[in-house]
Structure 1
Amino acid sequence: MESARRKCLEIILQNTLVKLYQKGLSEEYKQVEDVGPTPGDAWAQHDAMVSRGLCEAAVKNSEKNRYCNLFPFDSDRVKLQVPKDKSDYINASWIKIPGVEIRFILTMAPLHPSSFSSSRPVDFGMNSSVSTCADFWRMVQQTDSKRVIMLCKIESGYTGCAQYFPTEQEELVTFDEYSLTLDKEISQEDVSVDRTLNLTWDGNSRMINHSQFNLWPNYGVVENVSQLADFVKKILDATQVCEGPVIVHCSGGIGRSGAFTSILSVLYLLNKYVETGSAECLSGIVLNEEICLVELVRGMRKQRHPWMVEGEKQYLLIYSTVLHLLQEMLKES
């Protein structure tokens, strides 16, 4: 790393640490909240989106949503290619981060009736759900994606995730015209699992890289930042811009998915600055010589949902992980 670039990153790191320790993030997070149909009033966002017709596709297909109040904006939703008599809806959104060449799709975890019962009803009160597993793999196939990031565990109930992929090499899983087998699996203790899945449909096939991070609780944050940082770095190192969009999901595709996408995007831009020396690479994430995530997160909230990156704790987690990655970058250089 050239000395001028190293010095610039050292200043950014120092100034950002000072900001966190002296000011905290409460005031900055208020700027993040100042977006959406009801700026500053998080709990009114959903009703306002519905009443103003900003999420009509989700309203018409409510049974395909895991949560009753996490409907994506119509403007950036992923539209499936289906016959006219079927719905093109899936709770998924295209996400574009300025300066980042990787395309992202953030989506809810697939639903399946086997995940629900009278003791674990869906978020709409019923005891069973439709299956959106075929819709999920249809999205993977039709968008030419080869990489899926899973930030949750398989759990029943609407706050969990259905079993939408095989876990044994002899297992064949089928959802409508899509079939999947497990080609290879590599586990890193309890931290993460990397799988290679073979997706087949209508005589075609594609290998899918499926990476699961297991240490991020629903409605919580990762305790060990270094483990999350290593996972993000591994994903970025393995991702090729030409391989199609990176599909990211947790349970709702809002909080953890938004935080992960933010961290990976910042790391991408930092790497690009180191490679090129162009200050323009940092224009969207650095303000007054310190990292500022306001515009990045607000941009995602405008594209998918006003709750992207849920709460100040997740917002702080992004900062903590980014600073850890920046420190490691400087050490390695």
Structure 2
Amino acid sequence: MADTMIQGLPTWLAQAHNAAHITVVLRTLQKREHARLVACTVARHQAHPSKRHRLSHLPSTLATKAEHVTYYSATVGSDPDNQPDNRYSDIFPYDRTRVVVCPGEPSHDCSSSCTSGRYLNANWVRELAGGKWWIATQAPLPHTAHTFLSVIMEGVSPPPGTCFSNLRSLNRVRTVVQLTRNLESGMRKAHVYFPPLDGQSWVIEPPSGSADPPFQVTLVRSQSIEEADCVKSVVSLRPLSKDRTPEGEPIVFQHLLYTAWPDHGVPAREAREGLLRFTRLVDEANRDLSLHLGISDLDPNPPIMVNCSAGVGRTGAFIAISSLLRHYRFLAPGDQTGEPIPPLPPSPLGPLPEELQDDLVAQEIDSLREQRPGMVQRDDQVGLVYEVLVAAFVSASGANGVPVGDA
């Protein structure tokens, strides 16, 4: 079906879905991400200097604006003490949006946040078009699995500029999305942190030297959902006392593994409908309160934690797709209050060029890259965002023949 025949297809999307426009988008996004990378690199070498690095990066240092260096710094993640906790040696979270794992109860004071907790290679990321908050993170390593699970159990620093009421109970993460298989092409892409059999339990130990308790992790149940290329699991989490007995009520979360997205690639065209189903399934699972009966005042749509292997390429593309589907009401709104979505901070790099001002895909990806380095990492992943959004309009048009909307 030609783009012009798709009922409800936004004008900007019909015009953008061509090779010449995509080339402009890719070149513009690449140029801006390179500027961020240079500023981030300068900040890193200023914070962790060596004579060799100072000399090799002197030209970049002189040419980069100081405000860019501050804004795009990733000095915590690149600290030598935290390097072992990074799955990849060149991917670090920006300091200003990074997630800090906070032992104990997070503060109720919206002006304060935990900054001295445990390090995790993760960033708070908010959809530009859809308005929903996510935690974008790398897949766990064996020694970071406890910290990864602590996001759910112990609470984390709130997103910048927000007033979440309590990230340890009301707004607790209830859904984890994994976009990589644990093993791909014979290589380990993600560490397994819950058992494979229903009813089986594992103990996840805290990092060496930590006073935090071990966790008992139990697979409650698991099912394959073939039409969404997904394995959906319900997992419970409890701390263990000094005598290794479970304490308190279990914390339950849902884990959704998407199996059709290869590393260094995109889902095959015949899998695109399954990807749309998976995106809807994630949204529905996150709103499901049936596993949390008896707990009052829960956030009906709390933040979702999402990872691939590095937490940038597939992770960024999935958030971008979800945001635009939400914007066009293929997914329920991220904010149930009906209030306008507040703007994100403007980029120090300035706005996108005028010819891209109406392109919501380019705007979305650029915004995600402002919040975590390398989001939507590959050119074919950028193209995928356009293609899946078009596929959503095609599916809606074919299903009922009614225009979905324009913008």
TM-score, normalised to structure 2's length? Answer: 0.65
- State the distance in 2 between where 1:216 and 1:273 align: 21
What does residue 124 of structure 1 align with? none
What does residue 39 of structure 1 align with? 35
Give the counterpart of 1:199 among 234, 237, 241. Answer: 237
Letter in 1 for 2:275: L
Unaligned stretches of 5+ residues in structure 1: 1-6, 113-130
Indicate the SS of the match to 1:222. coil
Shift of the 165–70 alpha-carbon distance from structure 1 to 2, 3 Å rule, reads: same
Does 2:322 match 1:264?
yes
Contact 1:249 / 1:257 at 8 angstroms: preserved in 2?
yes
Contact 1:25 / 1:312 at 8 angstroms: preserved in 2?
no
Detail structure 1 runs of 4+ shifted over 4 Å in the superposition.
156-159, 272-276, 287-291
Shift of 1:239: 2.9
Shift of 1:87: 5.5
Contact 1:46 / 1:69 at 8 angstroms: preserved in 2?
no
Contact 1:229 / 1:322 at 8 angstroms: preserved in 2?
no
Contact 2:280 / 2:331 at 8 angstroms: preserved in 1?
no
Does 2:309 match 1:313?
no
Pairs within 5 Å for 1:145-294: 145-155=173-183, 160-176=189-205, 177-189=214-226, 191-201=229-239, 202-223=247-268, 224-240=271-287, 242-271=300-329, 291-294=359-362
Shift of 1:265: 0.9
Contact 2:16 / 2:359 at 8 angstroms: preserved in 1?
no
Letter in 1 for 2:193: Y
Pairs within 5 Å for 1:125-136: 131-136=143-148
Indicate the SS of the match to 2:386. helix
- State the distance in 2 between where 1:168 and 1:264 align: 31
Letter in 2 for 1:102: K
Shift of 1:292: 3.0
Shift of 1:50: 1.7
Shift of 1:206: 1.6
- How many positions carry a matched residue from both structures? 298
Pairs within 5 Å for 1:19-168: 19-21=16-18, 23-36=20-33, 38-39=34-35, 47-51=41-45, 53=47, 54-60=73-79, 61-82=82-103, 88-112=118-142, 131-141=143-153, 142=155, 143=167, 144-155=172-183, 160-168=189-197
- State the distance in 1 between where 2:326 and 2:319 align: 10
Shift of 1:26: 1.4
Shift of 1:146: 0.4
Shift of the 208–319 alpha-carbon distance from structure 1 to 2, 3 Å rule, reads: same
Contact 2:283 / 2:331 at 8 angstroms: preserved in 1?
no
- State the distance in 2 between where 1:169 and 1:160 align: 23
Shift of the 171–238 alpha-carbon distance from structure 1 to 2, 3 Å rule, reads: closer
Select the structure that is richer in helix.
1
- State the distance in 2 between where 1:48 and 1:288 align: 29
Deviations 1:253-281 (A, max 9, x none): 000000001101111110089999x9x88
Shift of 1:329: 2.3
Shift of the 180–270 alpha-carbon distance from structure 1 to 2, 3 Å rule, reads: same
Out of 69-78 and 216-225, give the one that drifted further: 216-225
What does residue 363 of structure 2 align with? 295
Does 2:18 match 1:16?
no
Shift of 1:95: 0.5
Unaligned stretches of 5+ residues in structure 2: 48-72, 105-113, 156-166, 206-213, 240-246, 288-298, 345-354, 401-407
Contact 1:263 / 1:321 at 8 angstroms: preserved in 2?
yes
Shift of the 310–245 alpha-carbon distance from structure 1 to 2, 3 Å rule, reads: same
- State the distance in 1 between where 2:204 and 2:130 align: 33
Letter in 1 for 2:183: E
